[in-house]
Structure 1
Amino acid sequence: MYQLNSDQLAIQRQYDQLSTGRRVLTISDDPAAAARAIGLQREVSRTDQMVRNADAAEAFYQSADVTLDKVDSAIIEARGAAVEAAQSVLSDDQREALAMTIRQQMESIVSAGNGMFADHQLLGGVLQTDLALEHVSGTVRFNGNQAIGLTKVGDGTQAEFTVSAATAIGVGEPFIEGESLDAALNADTRLIDMKQGEGVQAGVLTVSDGDHFVELDLRQAATIGDVADVLRTVDLDGRSLSVTLGADSITVQYADGLPGTLAIKDAAGSRLASDLLISNPDGFRAPPLVGDRLAPQVTLATSISDLNDGAGLDLTDGLVIDRGDQRYEIDFSNAETVGDVIIAINRSDAEVKAVLNETAGRIELHALRSGVDYSVGENGGSAATELGIRTADEDTLVSELARERGLNYNPEGPDLVITRPDGVELEFELEDAETVGEIIDLIRNHPDNQDTQRVLVSLNEVGNGLRLTAPPGADPIRVTQPGLSDAGTYLGWIPEDASEGVGELDGSVAVLNGSDYQPRDAGGAIDTLLRLESAIRDGDISEIGRLQARLDDDLDASTRTRGRVGVWHSSLQDSRTAVENENVLLQSQLSDAMDADLASVISELQARQVALEASMRFVGQTSGITVLNYL
């Protein structure tokens, strides 16, 4: 009966193998093969997912290519219309027709910018579900974000499968990249933020005076203050250490200020002293030991008092942001950290996105409204200047005026004439001036402008622009630009449709407040086309020429982005092929470990059936035998 039961179980198992095609049905069938198969199945699932990721990414690449082709075509068409519009012999109807062509191409780019695939924006941010670009009062507002989609393909590395609007069509680009904020060290500076973000690795130090040795375990130190505090506890034959933190340095010496051997070295596997540049393993360097270039990276948590090399910033009066004709005051009265400054700007209605570039340690402002000018100025104090984001100051290059076209000079005489209220004319030739600050110096140092009736010049205290003041006289302050010069216009003193600028009396002072001499374009293809449409209607040949060059830049940006997508697509195909080949190999190995050899199973099944039949025949023959058969 045992043999009969064994044969029946074996036959059932072989039937199961035939029906499933699997040799190992339970772990107990072959523990080693089952364990190997579990690992192989996990790898097969991983490669299957990689292939699915690649398929999804390829679909995004194809959609992005179609979208960017639409952008390229629109810019090329607009470029042709701009070339035609640069003629001075066109009628108003012809200019209107060309302006409408530009409008149509702009709408095409807006449509492309709002393109979606699989419920994700192709250009407006992968997590953006609403329209990224919206028409508002003749302008276009960017409601999206610059988030990009990432997926894992090939060897598991992350790959981008969407592009941002900033890289593709220039929307949301920074219109001002500020100056470095220069954070200083203090006791609370984290080790990981030091050396401009490269970081300092905590470790173990050995400090010695040549005869006595002290080992310091600083592996739990989180800030430079922790390191300094532990070093101050060292006692070398009755001599303690003094540790001083500078703006970007640390100084270690004996507290008594006297000379002597002071050796500091890293323990095996440690690099703290080397990172701090105070390593002196043999004591050859005489104290003090100074480690410099340790200034920390500026982060959102950096205190305002630690900026400007530790001198702090005065943000009391805040700043103003001009967007078109609208002015917005930004209040920093509650700001304690760089993050608070960023939040205050972003919560304003100026439609500006402030971002901290931690690598460069500066604030960048991104325009969210295309078709308008932006500028950042003071609000009676120096906040914009100290934050490094004032858009027009004394360092502005003359070559950047007139929207980077520079000034036109008068070849036959002075470029600028300022007439004081007392009638004295001050003539200036500006061809050698490289910055606005140098023009200011020319006015201040003019030999006919050194008496008590002199004209004073300074930057406007609110907003941007140059302010002329003088004691009152018979006439107001006047500014003219002789001949072919346009210096007065683009320095902000003469309106574009006027031949001279005329001041006014402000209390007991004659004043001429200039307008902003360096407003910033929002940037990007949509902004370019909106400005080009207006320039064509106005017949502004100079502006059309400037915008033609910008269209070339916009086309280059779009083409580069499209080329990058093409490279990604090609790389993706190679990665997918490699993953598919890996999947086939894994499937083969899994089959070897798990699949049944049908020929062997059938052969064994036949043998078991014969054995079962013999066993049943034997049982049948013996079932009728009794004890009487043996009497």
Structure 2
Amino acid sequence: MRISTVTMFEQSTASMNRQQSDLMRVSQQMASGRRVVNPSDDPQAASRAIGVDQAKAVTEQYSDSRISARNSLSQSESIINSVSDAITSAKGLLIQASSDTLTDEQRESIASELKGVYETMLGQANSTDGNGRYLFGGYKDNTPPFVKSADGSVEYRGDTNSREQRVDATRLMPVADNGVTIFQSVPSGAGYVAEAKRVGGDLNEGTLTFRGPQINNVNDDDYGTDFRITFNDPADTFNIETFDGTGWVPADPADPTLTDVEYTGNLDGSAQQVSFGGVSVNLEGTPVAGDSILVAQADGEQRQPDLFRTMEEAIRVLENPADNATKKADQRNTLITAMRDLDNSLDNVLTVRASAGARLNELKVIDAVADNRMLNYTQTLSDLVDLDYAEAITEYSLRQVGLQAAQKTFVDMKGMSLLNYM
């Protein structure tokens, strides 16, 4: 068989090109540190690597989301801690103001200090994060959630949702509680709160004061029912009404706690105890017809909790001189109610703070799980596409020898021509 000179040159060139291509491929792998530089190097490994890369990128995005969530929760937790300190300070001021030895001027001074605490709470309730969003407005975070109305009271204008953020594929975490949860709620099991006001909402006109309420029997059939004590004319008798969900109705006259009970107006100098539904209040003083004592669940429909309203009522009675028996009774009743409300608010704020702390701890756990997952992804990617340098160096040397052999063969063969023998 005869081999033409053209064929010999073409085969030699193809062999050198193939050997040089293999050498370049190994050189590229060594330069990049990757075994799979192009999908054609290992199509199956390249396909799996794309999936692992995508999962790794998603995990990194959730990691960034957790950083944002942690910042929001940390800021919220810090502000809520400040709110709890403010409530504690306010409670101390009310205890001080309750002393019978204080003058009206001294109580007015306490009211001035209480105003400062009140304004501090309002500022904390309207706190923003680093991006200018209001923390406690829910998803309505572009305007202050708490705004003073024309009459000086504070209104909540945010929504009742808690802003949430996805921190992992299976976890959508609240990163900021709304203002209602913090400033207008009480913890479950907060019990009852009493308030001295006439049925229409005006202040009582007599000198009636109360203590309590105290829970005596949680197994009573009527326990958990809001009720009010309204005094008649003459004011030595009263009616008890309960709220049935739509309106006030007279309590069951057959109830043993109501049989033959009359209020004596403290004529004998001792307080009278009135009980209903396993709850009792101690009454003292002389009421006027139409005066009323509301005994309602702290989170009930008849008396919605509101930290700012509590502070406003306390400031009101401390600013106004108690220059007669009626005002003194109003002052005493209001301070008793306010202190009970502050206790409930403090318990609620501490509960919310504990919840924020628990979520911060959860983020640490999620971070630890995500870190392990990232290590697994990195190891999988390394197994799929990373280069074994020892193997690559060996192959590189082999390809060099192959290229040199192809070149030497070509040099030797190109001199083999019939013309040399003519």
TM-score by length of 1: 0.48
Q: Residue 170 of structure 1: which of 179, 184, 187 is its match?
A: 184
Q: Residue 148 of structure 1: which of 155, 158, 162 is its match?
A: 162
Moved more, 22-31 or 132-141: 132-141
Helix, strand or coil at the partner of 2:319: helix
Q: Is contact 2:240-2:250 (8 Å) kept?
A: no
Q: Residue 588 of structure 1: which of 363, 370, 379 is its match?
A: 379
1:249-280 per-residue CA deviation (whole Å, 9 max, x = no partner) reads xxxxxxxxxxxxxxxxxxxxxxxxxxxxxxxx
Cα distance, 1:99 vs. partner?
Answer: 0.8
Cα distance, 1:77 vs. partner?
Answer: 0.4
Give the Cα–Cα distance (whole angstroms) in 2 for the partners of residues 32 and 101 of structure 1: 73
One-letter amino acid matched to 2:106: Q
Give the Cα–Cα distance (whole angstroms) in 2 for the partners of residues 555 and 575 of structure 1: 30
Give the Cα–Cα distance (whole angstroms) in 2 for the partners of residues 25 and 432 of structure 1: 86
Helix, strand or coil at the partner of 1:159: strand
One-letter amino acid matched to 2:409: F
Give the corresponding residue for 1:42.
54
Q: Residue 136 of structure 1: which of 141, 145, 149 is its match?
A: 149
Give the Cα–Cα distance (whole angstroms) in 2 for the partners of residues 51 and 171 of structure 1: 33
Cα distance, 1:588 vs. partner?
Answer: 0.5
Give the Cα–Cα distance (whole angstroms) in 1 for the partners of residues 285 and 354 of structure 2: 48
Give the corresponding residue for 1:527.
309
Give the corresponding residue for 2:105.
93
Identity of aligned residues (%): 23
Helix, strand or coil at the partner of 2:250: helix
Cα distance, 1:14 vs. partner?
Answer: 1.4
Pair 23,615 (structure 1): closer, same or farther in 2 beyond 3 Å:
same
Pair 399,140 (structure 1): closer, same or farther in 2 beyond 3 Å:
closer
1:175-211 per-residue CA deviation (whole Å, 9 max, x = no partner) reads xxxxxxxxxxxxxxxxxxxxxxxxxxxxxxxxxxxxx
One-letter amino acid matched to 2:171: T
Q: Is contact 2:86-2:121 (8 Å) kept?
A: yes
1:23-51 per-residue CA deviation (whole Å, 9 max, x = no partner) reads 11222221221222122112212221222
Helix, strand or coil at the partner of 2:393: helix
Pair 157,100 (structure 1): closer, same or farther in 2 beyond 3 Å:
same
Helix, strand or coil at the partner of 1:87: coil
Helix, strand or coil at the partner of 1:488: coil
Q: Which has the higher contact order (CA 8 A, sep 6+)?
A: 2
Cα distance, 1:61 vs. partner?
Answer: 1.3
Give the corresponding residue for 1:417.
233
Cα distance, 1:428 vs. partner?
Answer: 6.9
Pair 581,433 (structure 1): closer, same or farther in 2 beyond 3 Å:
closer
Q: Is contact 2:125-2:145 (8 Å) kept?
A: yes
Q: Is contact 1:153-1:576 (8 Å) kept?
A: no
Cα distance, 1:55 vs. partner?
Answer: 1.6
Cα distance, 1:160 vs. partner?
Answer: 1.4
Pair 172,548 (structure 1): closer, same or farther in 2 beyond 3 Å:
closer
Give the corresponding residue for 2:92.
80
Pair 439,15 (structure 1): closer, same or farther in 2 beyond 3 Å:
closer
Pair 433,624 (structure 1): closer, same or farther in 2 beyond 3 Å:
closer
Q: Residue 542 of structure 1: which of 333, 338, 358 is its match?
A: 333
Helix, strand or coil at the partner of 1:161: strand
Q: Is contact 2:227-2:242 (8 Å) kept?
A: no
Q: Is contact 2:239-2:250 (8 Å) kept?
A: no
Give the Cα–Cα distance (whole angstroms) in 1 for the partners of residues 15 and 407 of structure 2: 10
Cα distance, 1:57 vs. partner?
Answer: 1.2
Bigger Rg, structure 1 or 2: 2
Q: Is contact 1:114-1:132 (8 Å) kept?
A: yes
Helix, strand or coil at the partner of 1:437: strand
Helix, strand or coil at the partner of 2:147: strand
1:318-337 per-residue CA deviation (whole Å, 9 max, x = no partner) reads xxxxxxxxxxxxxxxxxxxx
Pair 147,434 (structure 1): closer, same or farther in 2 beyond 3 Å:
closer
Q: Is contact 1:17-1:23 (8 Å) kept?
A: yes
Give the corresponding residue for 2:40.
28
Give the Cα–Cα distance (whole angstroms) in 1 for the partners of residues 251 and 405 of structure 2: 116
Greater fraction of residues in helix? 2
Cα distance, 1:589 vs. partner?
Answer: 0.6
Helix, strand or coil at the partner of 2:37: coil
Give the Cα–Cα distance (whole angstroms) in 2 for the partners of residues 20 and 151 of structure 1: 38
Cα distance, 1:65 vs. partner?
Answer: 0.9
One-letter amino acid matched to 2:143: D
Give the Cα–Cα distance (whole angstroms) in 2 for the partners of residues 573 and 559 of structure 1: 21
Give the Cα–Cα distance (whole angstroms) in 2 for the partners of residues 533 and 591 of structure 1: 68
Cα distance, 1:417 vs. partner?
Answer: 2.1
1:509-543 per-residue CA deviation (whole Å, 9 max, x = no partner) reads xxxxxxxxx99656321121111111222351111
Helix, strand or coil at the partner of 1:67: helix
One-letter amino acid matched to 2:249: G
1:396-447 per-residue CA deviation (whole Å, 9 max, x = no partner) reads x99743xxxx56xxxxxxx5326xxxxxxxx873267667533899xxxxxx
Pair 434,11 (structure 1): closer, same or farther in 2 beyond 3 Å:
closer
Q: Is contact 1:132-1:143 (8 Å) kept?
A: yes
Cα distance, 1:143 vs. partner?
Answer: 2.4
Written as runs of structure 1 = structure 2, the 5 A alignment for 1:174-193 is none
RMSD across aligned C-alpha pairs, in angstroms? 3.3
Written as runs of structure 1 = structure 2, the 5 A alignment for 1:7-18 is 7-18=19-30
Q: Is contact 1:398-1:433 (8 Å) kept?
A: no
One-letter amino acid matched to 2:359: W
Written as runs of structure 1 = structure 2, the 5 A alignment for 1:125-274 is 125-137=138-150, 138-154=152-168, 156-170=170-184
Helix, strand or coil at the partner of 1:150: strand
Give the Cα–Cα distance (whole angstroms) in 2 for the partners of residues 5 and 428 of structure 1: 116
Give the Cα–Cα distance (whole angstroms) in 1 for the partners of residues 163 and 285 of structure 2: 56
Give the Cα–Cα distance (whole angstroms) in 2 for the partners of residues 584 and 574 of structure 1: 16
Give the Cα–Cα distance (whole angstroms) in 1 for the partners of residues 403 and 388 of structure 2: 22
Give the Cα–Cα distance (whole angstroms) in 1 for the partners of residues 304 and 90 of structure 2: 19
Give the corresponding residue for 2:191.
none
Give the Cα–Cα distance (whole angstroms) in 2 for the partners of residues 439 and 627 of structure 1: 130
Pair 118,148 (structure 1): closer, same or farther in 2 beyond 3 Å:
farther
Give the Cα–Cα distance (whole angstroms) in 2 for the partners of residues 115 and 605 of structure 1: 64
Helix, strand or coil at the partner of 2:287: coil
1:593-629 per-residue CA deviation (whole Å, 9 max, x = no partner) reads 0111122112211211121122222223333443222
Give the corresponding residue for 1:437.
249
Give the Cα–Cα distance (whole angstroms) in 2 for the partners of residues 531 and 605 of structure 1: 86
